[in-house]
Structure 1
Amino acid sequence: MTEPGPHDVALELERLRTAVETGFARIDGRLDLLAQRDDQTDKTLDDHEQRLTALERARWPLPSLAVLVGTAGCALSAWQLIR
């Protein structure tokens, strides 16, 4: 078996460097995609929070209206009994 020469070592190091750069580029692309998906998820979560808050605000008058209608019904019944 022959000893590898400096040219062979340099060639293998260049191949290794190319493989590492390709791997880093692939990983960088995947990280960019994950970051983009994370941003989209954050926007979706914020949108859902806003919608939930709006629903909670819109819901509070319903119990108040039920109390008012019940009170009006009781008052009307009492007025008819008295009359």
Structure 2
Amino acid sequence: MTVPEASVAVELERLRGTVATGFARVEGSLAVLVERSDRNERDLVQLRADTVKDLGELRADHGKELDELRADVEALKKNRWPLPAIGALTGVAGAVAAAFALFAR
């Protein structure tokens, strides 16, 4: 083994160490990201379960009131004025009055 080959071998070994260190850092960063992702997923599942439970409690507590409100809204919908029909009748009455006034001269 000559001197240039020895220095090349030393540089290759140093490069191997640098690459191994870089891979270790990348693996550590990926492990942190995976842990955060898992924690976020668990938090999301817990939040969804809490939300469903809270909605169920609200519906149980106020279900009758909601049904009464729905019935009131339906009654109001049935008793509302037919505004498009009234507008059409008003337009026709105006046209008849205008025609009558035009031909009455």
Query: With structure 1 as the length reference, what TM-score do the two structures score?
Result: 0.70
Deviation for aligned residue 1:64: 2.9
1:62 and 1:49, CA in 2 relative to 1: closer, same or farther beyond 3 A?
same
Any gaps of 5 or more consecutive residues in structure 2? 70-105
The superposition leaves residues 19-63 of structure 1 with CA deviations (integer Å, 9 ceiling, x where unpaired) of 000000011011111111111101100000001110111122344
Does residue 64 of structure 1 match 2:63?
A: yes
Partner of 2:40: 41
Q: Distance in 2 between matches of 1:34 and 1:63?
A: 43
Determine what percentage of the aligned residue pairs are the same residue. 30
Any gaps of 5 or more consecutive residues in structure 1? 71-83
Partner of 1:19: 18
Q: 2:18 is aligned with what amino acid?
A: A
Q: Distance in 1 between matches of 2:67 and 2:34?
A: 51
Deviation for aligned residue 1:18: 0.3
Superposition CA RMSD, Å: 2.2
1:29 is paired with a residue whose SS is: helix
Query: With structure 2 as the length reference, what TM-score do the two structures score?
Result: 0.56
Q: 1:46 is aligned with what amino acid?
A: V
Q: Distance in 1 between matches of 2:7 and 2:16?
A: 14
